[in-house]
Amino acid sequence: MSGHGKHTPEQIRAKVNHPIVDGDGHWVEYDPVFAEQMRKVGGDIAADGFLASMAATKKALEMGVPERTRRRMAMPGFWTRQTGNTLDRATAMLPHLLYDRLDEIGSDFAIIYPTAGLRLPRIVDDKTRRAVIRAYNIVSAGYFKDLSDRMTPAAIIPMHTPEEAIEELDFVTKELGSKVGMFGSAQPKKVKAVNGNNADVDRLAVYYEVFGIDSEHDFDPVWQKCVDVKIAPTFHSSGSNQALRNSPTNFTYNHIGHFADAGHAAAKGIFLGGVTRRFPQLRFAFLEGGVGWGAQLFGDLMEHWERRNARALENMRPDKLNRDLLMQMVEKYGYKEHAAALKARDGWPDPEMQSTGGVANLDDFAALKFTGKQDWIDLFVEPYYFGCEADDRMNATAFLKLNPFGAQLNAIYSSDIGHFDVIDMREPLAEAYELVEDGVLTDDNFRDFTFTNAVRLWGTQNPDFFKGTTVEKAAAEVLAERHVPMQVAAE
């Protein structure tokens, strides 16, 4: 769909009666200079740790296919920076140039996420990771400090332990004035049953932290700190180079769906862990993976609840089986071998399947404390936001009457400028508007997608988020509107 929108950004902004907020643009840090600036504020451990993290792609490419195949390492992205479009390359590197081009690109206000910084939450060594992220946040904030009326950068919040996350949240909000936090998610952690210190074993023998369930730590203090410092947790983590996205030869195979995969894991874990029940005021965003997976997850969770909630499970209890009736049916319609095997098991067809695995509470949804169908709106639809790249036609699934209860999901416009999939920074807004041109989205849908949802994501969490920006008045009007969550009709 790329690049064939019928309108320019200028024409689109003239047609709509609301500002455009870009919920996920990117800048591309210039590593040699950025590292030395980090050295000044964080010392050698910060600069050298940053450069070592950046060198991972180079090392993987230098291995060649046979060695990557032997070690089962993913083919990384190569040629991922604009060269044919030199102006855009410069724009991605220079925040002040990006600021000057925002009107041309079609954005009134933009949330800017890292590029090199996306990797930093995955640094394994605790001391190095903390030093690198602290220095990164300081240097990044400095680049944008004079541009706050139209742009704000995301600070990196590591989630290896609650203490680490809380410390960085306190620092970036109190010392740097940060308003956006990019939280690490789907963190790989070594499986404790695996011994040794082989680098490849450590890399492959992992499980993934999803915060809400099966966590080594209690992350509720982090969510409470988010409430206290008025930060909406937004997740922008990779699912590439993991599990089913680990091709040593094909970057596209590894890349497609990887942000959605990481977002899916975090959203599912947070929901089933009851986090949105315990912290109803929090808003969470899962970026760059689109909303199609969110719509599917919404339906999948509901369908599983219908079949696996506590009441439904009662009908699946092994002692509900009428063994006499089953034996009669087998003797009448089955084979002699069936009847003999069933008699040998005292009428139980699968006695080995009666265990519950030592789980005390068999209700997978217990933490949500469901009281009715309205809870699905309050605990999933209202608190979850989904960052959507402009040229993804699945963005329409947020607004069509396909979701349970006909609910509209919170899709937010995400230009992804600065990255390889944006050939020209002037195209994303036009690509997003194509769904209106094609009659798939209404003007109101487009307003929600490109403005209202972003305002509610960050403004609900922090009413002063847009204060002092060029969209302050329009954002205040949205936040002043009486936003009534969708009501599910009683049966």
Q: Are 373 and 305 in contact (CB under 8 A)?
A: no
pLDDT of 449 above 80: yes
Tokens of 115: 């590029």
Whether residue 482 is predicted with pLDDT greater than 80 in this model: the reply is: no
**At 190, which helix (H) or strand (E)?**
strand 187-190
Averaged pLDDT for residues 435-440: 94
Write the pLDDT tens digit of every residue in 298-309.
999 999 999 998
Percentage of the chain lying above the pLDDT 70 cut: 98
Could you give the residue range(s) of every CATH 3.20.20.140 domain in the chain? 9-301+383-480
3-state helix, strand, coil in the chain (%, to 5): 50, 10, 40
Q: 256: Cβ–Cβ under 8 A, 6 or more apart, which residues?
A: none
Determine the residue type at 18.
Answer: H
Residue 240 — very low, low, confident or very high, per pLDDT cuts 50/70/90?
Answer: confident
Q: CA of 430: how far to CAs of 2, 398, 437, 442, in Å?
A: 9, 19, 10, 15
CB neighbourhood size of 210 (10 A): 21
Q: Which of 138, 135, 129 is nearest to 158 (CA)?
A: 129
Q: For residue 486, what pLDDT band results from cuts at 50, 70 and 90?
A: confident
Which tokens belong to 107?
Answer: 């954005």
The pLDDT value given to residue 1: 43
The single-letter code of the amino acid at 8 is T
How far, in Å, CA of 429 to CA of 450, rounded?
9
What six digits make up the tokens of 345? 């098991």
Asked whether the beta carbons of 431 and 1 are under 8 A apart, the reply is yes
H or E element, residue 458: helix 453-461
pLDDT tens profile 346-385? 999 988 888 888 888 899 999 999 988 899 999 999 999 9
Tokens 């210190």 sit at which residue?
197
Q: Report how many helices (DSSP H) and strands (DSSP E) the chain contains, helices first.
A: 20, 10
The DSSP H or E segment spanning 48 is: helix 31-71
Strand partners, 153: 112
Q: How confident is the model at residue 142 (pLDDT cuts 50, 70, 90)?
A: very high
Given this model, what pLDDT does residue 2 score? 47
Distance CA 135, CA 350 (A): 58
Mapping DSSP onto H, E and C, the string for 218-279 reads: CCHHHHHHHHHHCCCEEECCCCCCECCECCCCCHHHHHCCHHHHHHHHHHHHHHHCCHHHHC
Q: How far apart are CA 433 and CA 391, in angstroms?
A: 9
Cα separation of 159 and 231, whole Å? 14
| DSSP structural state of residue 242 | B
DSSP state of 463: T
Helical axes 336-344 vs 323-333, angle rounded to 10°: 160
Query: In the prediction, which pLDDT does 447 show?
Result: 97
User: Distance (Å, rounded) from C-alpha 123 to C-alpha 118?
Assistant: 11
pLDDT digits (tens, 9 = 90+) for 243-280: 888 899 999 999 999 999 999 999 999 999 999 999 99
List, in sequence order, every residue forming a beta bridge with 111; answer none if it has no partner. 152
Q: Average the pLDDT over 454-481 and give the result.
A: 96
Q: Which helix (H) or strand (E) holds 183?
A: strand 180-183
Residue with tokens 């719509």: 295
Pairwise CA distance, residues 468 & 109, whole Å: 11
Mean confidence (pLDDT) of the chain: 93
Distance of alpha carbon 439 from alpha carbon 425, whole angstroms: 24
Under a CB-based contact definition with an 8 Å cutoff, are residues 190 and 202 in contact? yes
Contact 282, 461 (CB under 8 A): yes
Cα 203 from Cα 125, distance rounded (Å): 13
Name the band, by pLDDT with cuts 50, 70 and 90, for residue 201.
Answer: confident
d(CA 384, CA 373): 17
For residue range 379-430, list pLDDT tens digits in order: 999 999 999 999 999 999 999 888 999 999 999 999 999 999 999 999 999 9
Q: Cα(145)–Cα(127) distance, rounded to whole angstroms?
A: 27
Relative orientation angle of helices 258-272 and 292-308, to the nearest 10 degrees: 40
For the domain bounded by 9-301+383-480, which CATH number is listed? Answer: 3.20.20.140
The pLDDT tens digits of the residues spanning 23-73 come to 999 999 999 999 999 999 999 999 999 999 999 999 999 999 999 999 999
CA pair distance 57, 5, nearest whole angstrom: 34
- pLDDT category at 490 given cuts 50, 70, 90 is low
Q: State the CB neighbour count (10 A cutoff) for residue 322.
A: 10
pLDDT (tens digit per residue) in 67-118:
999 999 999 999 999 899 999 999 999 999 999 999 999 999 999 999 999 9
Query: Residue holding tokens 């990196």?
Result: 156
Confidence of residue 6 (pLDDT cuts 50, 70, 90): confident
The C-alpha atoms of residue 429 and residue 6 are separated, in whole angstroms, by 11
Is the model's pLDDT at 236 over the cut of 70?
A: yes
For the cut 90, the answer to whether the pLDDT of residue 148 exceeds it is yes
High-pLDDT (> 90) share of the chain, % = 81
Q: Of the candidates 472, 471, 451, 419, which has an alpha carbon nearest to the alpha carbon of residue 113? A: 419
AA identity, residue 229: V
